[in-house]
Structure 1
């Protein structure tokens, strides 16, 4: 098997970026030239071409005008952001699959990568009542599929470190039965050699009250992802990622150790038993 065969297939967002670059270069157009034609900055065009952000509809339409491609790029952009994931979350998913280290701090809910289908379903039903039953099931299936990175052999699965605030185990999502299965899953995952779980008990005032995730990939800058009311955005600014790493180190120092955390989580599990 050669190197090309071993590579993962390009994601739709990556395909869009490659096509923009090839069309631009075929027309002997510079980054600045396409930026001017679309009304965006050269830095924005570069990030789109390198799949570091999801293109806006206006940018795709501007590309069609600049390239003379009718509505080809606009339609391709729709494909790139299609599915049940919001467009702002697509870059996170891309980085999650490539990450060699994932450092997560959860304050209210167990992180998506470790959720059971029942737990995820309950969250979608509570937080997004506008979704149809079929849409909810599609979202649950997609979230469950993300777990395959924990079981892959080549490349090796990422090192996953989770600092879990005790609230995540006390907020009853879907009822006691759902919580029991979720906590059991959490304990099962904690047995993986590449997974570390630390519980931050109520008795500790945490270094941060906002959840966030740090994604590290060999050879590339660490990326910070923090959710907000309008969704989340990846941040690569060194000052921001460095500050987040320092906060994460403090959270790990404040939390219980892995073994002690597992013991405490088992006791919480017993509280949900009928």
Structure 2
């Protein structure tokens, strides 16, 4: 079997995998043998060695104890967990598809997984008209995770401003808000609106997403003008999780949120005389 060769300078995760393989091979252990020593499968060891899986702190401590590496992997795992993933969007989309729980606060736009095709086309067409069809198709393809047999839990907090900001046209907005309303009542999806009356709030720095996984560290994702930022830094996860809970507490209930969306849809984007 061909073994994937890692560049240890590529990222903290690659360096961790490179060093784990080096230490294991110097000890003359197979993947299965090391897995038995640290109470996991050889397959998991192989995934970590090839940077296909993020190691956990407990795993690192067990490796240090078993291999006598003087805390090296326990120190390395901190760098791995805090390191930023690549700052283009594709890595985030891949992680989004693997997440078991997605929490998002959106201050200006309807969340991408809830957008209609025409709404997405209007948003993306502002600066990407030359490759618009491909970008819209890619965004729509992301939404297939909501139709899976086991979809992720999705909790969305929308700022009221996202309802009033007209994207494309009145018809596009009416269709978009109608689509959002159609999603209320789904078992694994909740939508709340943060009203203007909430005043200052925990999301004033901008939109952000929190991703949770069954077997990997949580991730926080936010965007600037030209890049995305993804991190597993435990302190960032803690602070943003508390902030998100505050947003949920300040937002309208799902029932009241649906009523507000319906009212805005009719009063602002309904048929005009």
Q: TM-score, normalised by structure 2?
A: 0.70
Query: How many equivalent pairs are there?
Result: 205
2:194 is equivalent to residue 200 of structure 1: yes
Structure-2 separation of matches of 1:46 and 1:262 = 47
Structure 2 equivalent of residue 96 of structure 1: 96
Q: What CA deviation, in whole Å up to 9, does each residue of 1:50-77 have, x standing for no partner?
A: 2589xxxxxxxxxxxxxxxxxxxxxxxx
Q: Classify the secondary structure of the residue corresponding to 2:177.
A: helix
Q: What CA deviation, in whole Å up to 9, does each residue of 1:187-224 have, x standing for no partner?
A: 11123111100100111122122100001111221100
Structure 1 equivalent of residue 232 of structure 2: 236
Q: Which of the numbers 148, 167, 187 marks the counterpart of 1:173?
A: 167
Structure-2 separation of matches of 1:142 and 1:43 = 28
Structure-2 separation of matches of 1:52 and 1:175 = 44
Identify if the C-alpha distance between structure 1 residues 42 and 113 changes in structure 2 by more than 3 Å, giving closer, same or farther. Answer: closer
Identify if the C-alpha distance between structure 1 residues 238 and 269 changes in structure 2 by more than 3 Å, giving closer, same or farther. Answer: same
Q: How far 1:46 sits from its partner (Å)?
A: 4.7
Larger radius of gyration: 2
Structure 2 equivalent of residue 80 of structure 1: none
Q: Which of the numbers 262, 266, 274 marks the counterpart of 2:258?
A: 262
Runs of 4+ in structure 1 deviating by more than 2 angstroms, as ranges, are 39-53
Unaligned runs of 5+ in 1: 1-18, 25-30, 54-85
Q: Classify the secondary structure of the residue corresponding to 2:246.
A: helix
Structure-1 separation of matches of 2:114 and 2:261 = 15
Q: Classify the secondary structure of the residue corresponding to 1:147.
A: helix
Structure-2 separation of matches of 1:227 and 1:87 = 9
Q: Which of the numbers 148, 152, 168 marks the counterpart of 1:152?
A: 148
Q: How far 1:44 sits from its partner (Å)?
A: 4.9
Structure 1 equivalent of residue 209 of structure 2: 213
Structure-2 separation of matches of 1:212 and 1:52 = 24
Q: How far 1:138 sits from its partner (Å)?
A: 1.3
Cα RMSD after superposing both structures? 2.2
Does the Cα contact within 8 Å between 1:216 and 1:222 map onto a contact in 2?
yes
Q: Classify the secondary structure of the residue corresponding to 1:110.
A: coil
2:51 is equivalent to residue 50 of structure 1: yes
1:65-104 alignment runs, 5 A limit: 88-104=88-104
Q: TM-score, normalised by structure 1?
A: 0.70
Structure-2 separation of matches of 1:150 and 1:41 = 31
Q: How far 1:231 sits from its partner (Å)?
A: 1.1
Structure 2 equivalent of residue 111 of structure 1: 111
2:253 is equivalent to residue 252 of structure 1: no
1:4-15 alignment runs, 5 A limit: none
Structure-1 separation of matches of 2:141 and 2:11 = 35
Does the Cα contact within 8 Å between 2:191 and 2:254 map onto a contact in 1?
yes
Identify if the C-alpha distance between structure 1 residues 171 and 195 changes in structure 2 by more than 3 Å, giving closer, same or farther. Answer: same
Structure-1 separation of matches of 2:240 and 2:14 = 24
Q: How far 1:230 sits from its partner (Å)?
A: 2.8
Q: How far 1:141 sits from its partner (Å)?
A: 1.2
Identify if the C-alpha distance between structure 1 residues 190 and 50 changes in structure 2 by more than 3 Å, giving closer, same or farther. Answer: farther
Unaligned runs of 5+ in 2: 18-47, 55-85
